[in-house]
Amino acid sequence: PDGPHRSAETLCEVAYPPRAAAFLRDRGIEVTTKPQGLRISTHYYNAESDVDTCVAALTDYCRESRETA
């Protein structure tokens, strides 16, 4: 719904979702694993810096995953 109480969910396709979730959890980022990847939920209490931190951590995970593949 629109308005001040709306939230968002994003499904991010990653290799090895459980490993990716653990990688993010180690950095204080909570996500939910799905067969295709990670569900990332944001809400009104998340700051833009929270999203930036999550994107940076996902970038690090993808880079490290490629290096170890």
* Predicted confidence (pLDDT) per residue in 17-62, tens digit: 999 999 999 999 999 999 989 999 988 788 999 999 999 999 999 9
pLDDT recorded at residue 2: 61
Give how far the C-alpha of residue 60 lies from the chain's centroid of Cα atoms, to the nearest Å.
Answer: 12
Predicted TM-score of the model (pTM):
0.81
CA–CA distance, 44 with 59 (Å, rounded to integer):
24
Residue with tokens 């944001």: 42
Cα 33 from Cα 41, distance rounded (Å): 12
Q: Is the dihedral of CA 52, 55, 57, 59 positive or negative?
A: negative
Q: 39 pairs with which residues across the strands?
A: 11, 32
